């Protein structure tokens, strides 16, 4: 029992970038264990896009003909696939639905579960994973004892890697019980880069003075192909929607590049962003605590700096 | 309606946690109800009032968590259960909650979407799976219409409205309700509200934390003049290689 099963989520027919990272992560773990990396996806992944999974490391793709919209359905699909494939390790990328499926899968498979995993496991002494705790204030090493391990990985835990394996797609059947939860309405912004998936995040705070001033933040995000985010006070005042709130009680992000504009850098905000690879802080207060946690800083008024930065980036990119 | 609110006892979110010999040094750090649990508790108190029901607060922890449990009683829970055990991991805690819920048949089992100490976000899903109940996470609005709950749930890039009949489990987050601050009457009455201590059920340990470390520190910040923004763009491309 040394195979790895990876759950793949798709958006508009194609695997999400975070899921491709999970596939590469799973392929690396399978290599360490001497097993196969098997991906499982539901009908939201179109057959045309299954090839990308082989590119990023899947030896085989189990394609389920139905849809799984609820976490309980994902859990049943993944547990059934894991049992069929004798999987020792199950991997998912973080997402709202997968995050809730993970503990359910753990109970179904009597597995050890670790969420928010930030690196490949260490197999030199058992099976030890690295994960963030105390909302980013600590990194812990967790030893997983059960025969089966379920891991949810953070963005940038290992990145994607090209394996270019030969694609093998098998159709997969599982009995999925209907969820007792009825979805009545979905309000989702379309055509925007989703915050948890984004490589670059442009985030702004109270320094912007009001919701009417977010145009320049959206412009900058557009230039960078970035998602927009905000601090807690901004979402509390309804300047921006709650799903953009990054921090201790909001979304935790780990993009390659995080721009913090007009955000002072309270410890609760840092908790949501401190695993970003590179942090740029723009603040007119040179004493803003955020500068201590930044890689690059500019002291200046957002209203002056942001448009200039946007022009400079437009010219350079 | 019979409501169970599960709370974690966690270090104050403002606290800087030092580490000694690979372990967190929690001496002198004050503890609070985990922030997401506090949101769930606030809504649970309102729902108890609306339905003229009963609200029980549950914590898995040793005797040192009792002041935190009393705070939940002061905020409005009617009684409390403490499972007398160190909350070893999510599976351990979920097993204790499920064991109690099996006897008590709660209509609603509420908690935060995750604790702010281990940030596992697993207990709600595990409890639901163990009890065979539906689970809604992250729940940011919860209204009851008889035994049917209408909830708003955050999804990537937006929100969805879901409906589910009781009993169910929900992992909550803001803005489900405003945090409640206990008033003097609450604090006084909390002292005499029942707090039952029960021994844990035996559960296998599936995980073990072997080491804690500080997250890697960033090397010192490089300041760039606001009149030389081109330099920032150059550094992001050539030095940080993120553009």
Beta strands B108-112 and B2-6, pairing class: parallel
Instruction: Identify the pLDDT of residue A138.
Output: 87
| Local structure of A47: helix, strand or coil | helix
Touching check for B134 and chain A: CB below 8 Å?
A: yes
A317 touches chain B (CB under 8 A): yes
DSSP string, B38-107: HHHHHHHHHHHHHHT-EEEEEEE--GGGHHHHHHHHHHT-SEEEEE-S---SHHHHHHHHHHHHHHH--S
Interface check for B203 against chain A (CB to CB < 8 A): the answer is no
Of B40, B176, B129, which is closest to residue A70 (Cα–Cα)? Answer: B129
Identity of the residue in A143, A180, A192 whose CB atom sits nearest the CB atom of B210: A143
Tell me the per-residue pLDDT of B163-184, one tens digit each, with 9 for 90 and over: 999 999 999 998 899 999 999 9
Would you call A188 an interface residue with chain B, using a CB distance cutoff of 8 Å? yes
pLDDT 10s digit of each residue in chain B, 243 long? 999 999 999 999 888 888 888 888 888 899 999 999 999 999 999 999 999 999 999 999 999 999 999 999 999 999 999 999 999 999 999 999 999 999 999 999 999 999 988 889 999 999 999 999 999 999 999 999 999 999 999 998 889 999 999 999 999 998 899 999 999 999 999 999 999 999 999 999 999 999 998 887 888 899 999 999 999 999 999 999 999
B-chain residue closest to A191, CA distance? B157
Interchain pair B158, A132: CB under 8 A: no
- pLDDT value of position B60: 98
> Is B131 within 8 Å of chain A by CB?
no
- When CB atoms are compared, the residue of A72, A182, A192 closest to B157 is A192
What does the pLDDT read at residue A188? 83
Alpha helices per DSSP H over chain A: 17-33, 51-55, 71-84, 96-108, 215-224, 232-236, 267-273, 302-316
Rounded Cα distance between A227 and A218, Å, is 8
Pairwise CB contact (< 8 Å): B35 & A248 = yes
B97 touching chain A per CB within 8 A: no
Q: If you search the block for the tokens 């970003």, which residue do you land on?
A: A276
Closest approach of chain A CAs to the CA of B96, in angstroms?
Answer: 14
Taking contacts as CB-CB distances below 8 angstroms, the residues of chain A near B232 are 280, 296, 298, 309, 312
Are A103 and B94 inside 8 Å of each other by CB?
A: yes
A228 contact residues in B (CB cutoff 8 A): none
Q: How many residues does chain A have?
A: 317
Contact: B236, A278; criterion CB under 8 Å = yes
- Residue in chain B lying closest to A257 (CA): B242
Q: What secondary structure letter does DSSP report for B147?
A: T
Q: Is A119 on the interface with B (CB under 8 A)?
A: no
Rounded to the nearest angstrom, the minimum Cα separation between A38 and chain B is: 24
pLDDT digits (tens, 9 = 90+) for B53-76: 999 999 999 999 999 999 999 999
Asked if the Cβ–Cβ distance from B134 to A180 is below 8 Å, we say yes
Structure tokens at B194: 């029942």
Whole-number average pLDDT of chain B? 95
Residues of B in contact with A254 (CB under 8 A): none
Cα–Cα distance measured from residue A138 to residue B97, given in angstroms and rounded to the nearest whole number: 27
Residues of B in contact with A200 (CB under 8 A): 242
Tokens representing residue A180 in the block = 């007792």
Could you say which residues from 56 to 95 on chain A have a Cβ atom under 8 Å away from some Cβ of chain B? 71-72, 75, 95
In chain A, residues with a C-beta closer than 8 Å to the C-beta of B16 are 137, 267
Phi, psi dihedrals of residue B12, rounded to the nearest 5°: -50, 135
DSSP annotation of A295 reads: S
Distances (CA, A) of B67 to A253, B31, B155, B187, B217: 33, 9, 35, 11, 34
Q: Which residues of A touch B242 (CB under 8 A)?
A: 200, 256-257, 277-278
Q: How far is A150 from chain B (nearest CA, A)?
A: 11
Measured between CB atoms, does B35 come within 8 Å of chain A?
yes
Residues of A whose CB is below 8 A from B125:
71, 100-104, 107
- What per-residue confidence (pLDDT) applies to A1? 67
First vs last Cα of chain A: how many Å apart? 48
Which regions of chain A are under pLDDT 50? none
**pTM of the full structure:** 0.90
Is the CB of A187 less than 8 angstroms away from the CB of B218?
no
* A248: chain B residues, CB-CB within 8 Å: 13, 35, 116
Query: Does the beta-carbon distance from A103 to B16 stay under 8 Å?
Result: no
Three-class DSSP category at A105: helix
What DSSP character marks residue B25? -
A64-68: Cβ within 8 A, 24+ apart:
A64/A40, A64/A171, A64/A172, A64/A173, A64/A174, A65/A171, A65/A173, A66/A42, A66/A176, A67/A42, A67/A43, A68/A42, A68/A176
CB-count burial class (<10 Å; 0-12, 13-18, 19+) for A231: buried
User: Phi and psi (nearest 5°) for B203?
Assistant: -140, 140
CA A87 to chain centroid? 23
Alpha-carbon torsion A214, A220, A222, A224, what sign?
A: negative
Give me the pLDDT at residue B141, please: 96
CB contact under 8 A, B19 and A138: yes
| Alpha-carbon gap, residue A64 to A50, rounded angstroms | 12
Contact yes or no for B155 and A188 at CB 8 A: yes
Which chain B residue is nearest to residue A307, measuring alpha carbons? B229
B179 touching chain A per CB within 8 A: no
pLDDT of residue A248: 83
């Amino acid at each position: 029992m040394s195979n790895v099963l990876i759950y793949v989520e798709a958006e508009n027919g194609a695997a999400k970038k975070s899921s491709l990272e999970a596939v590469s992560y799973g392929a690396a773990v399978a290599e360490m264990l001497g097993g196969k990396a098997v991906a499982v996806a539901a009908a939201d992944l179109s057959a045309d896009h299954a090839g990308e999974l082989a590119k990023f490391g899947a030896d085989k793709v189990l394609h389920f003909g139905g849809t799984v919209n609820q976490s309980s359905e994902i859990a049943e699909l993944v547990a059934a696939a894991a049992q069929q494939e004798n999987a020792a390790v199950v991997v998912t990328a973080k997402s709202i639905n997968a995050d809730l499926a993970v503990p359910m899968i753990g109970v179904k498979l009597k597995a050890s579960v670790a969420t928010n995993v930030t690196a490949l496991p260490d197999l030199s002494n058992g099976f030890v994973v690295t994960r963030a705790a105390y909302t980013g204030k600590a990194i812990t090493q967790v030893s997983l004892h059960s025969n089966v391990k379920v891991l949810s990985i953070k963005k940038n835990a290992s990145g994607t890697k090209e394996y270019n394996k030969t694609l093998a797609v098998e159709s997969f059947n599982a009995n999925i019980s209907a969820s007792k939860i009825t979805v009545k309405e979905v309000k989702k912004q379309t055509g925007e880069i989703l915050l948890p998936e984004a490589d670059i995040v442009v985030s702004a705070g109270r320094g912007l003075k009001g919701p009417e001033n977010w145009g320049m933040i959206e412009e900058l995000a557009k230039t960078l192909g970035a998602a927009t985010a905000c601090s807690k006070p901004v979402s509390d005042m309804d300047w921006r929607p709650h799903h953009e709130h990054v921090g201790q009680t909001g979304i935790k992000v780990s993009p390659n590049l995080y721009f913090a504009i007009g955000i002072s850098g309270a410890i609760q905000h840092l908790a949501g962003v401190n695993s970003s690879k590179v942090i740029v802080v723009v603040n007119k207060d040179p004493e803003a605590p955020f500068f201590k946690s930044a890689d690059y800083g500019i002291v200046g008024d957002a209203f002056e700096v942001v448009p200039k930065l946007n022009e400079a980036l437009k010219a350079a990119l | 309606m019979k409501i169970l609110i599960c709370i974690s006892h966690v270090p104050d979110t403002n606290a800087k946690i030092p580490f000694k010999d690979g372990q967190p040094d929690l001496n002198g750090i004050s503890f609070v109800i985990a922030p997401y649990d506090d949101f769930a508790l606030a809504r649970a108190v309102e729902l108890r009032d609306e339905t003229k029901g009963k609200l029980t607060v549950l914590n898995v922890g040793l005797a040192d968590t009792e002041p935190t449990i009393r705070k939940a009683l002061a905020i409005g829970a009617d009684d409390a259960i403490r499972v007398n055990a160190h909350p070893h991991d999510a599976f351990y805690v979920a097993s204790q909650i499920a064991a109690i819920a099996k006897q008590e048949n709660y209509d609603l089992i509420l908690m935060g979407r995750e604790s702010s100490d281990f940030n596992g976000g697993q207990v709600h899903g595990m409890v639901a799976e163990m009890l065979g109940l539906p689970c809604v996470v992250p729940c940011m609005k919860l209204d009851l219409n008889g035994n049917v709950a209408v909830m708003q749930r955050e999804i990537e890039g937006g929100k969805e409205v879901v409906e589910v009949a009781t009993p169910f489990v929900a992992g909550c987050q803001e803005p489900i309700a405003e945090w409640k601050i206990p008033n003097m009457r609450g604090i006084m009455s909390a002292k005499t509200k029942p707090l039952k201590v029960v021994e844990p059920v035996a559960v296998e340990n599936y995980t073990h934390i072997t080491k804690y470390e500080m997250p890697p520190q960033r090397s010192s910040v490089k300041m760039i003049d606001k009149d030389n923004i081109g330099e920032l763009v150059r550094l992001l491309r050539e030095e940080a290689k993120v553009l």
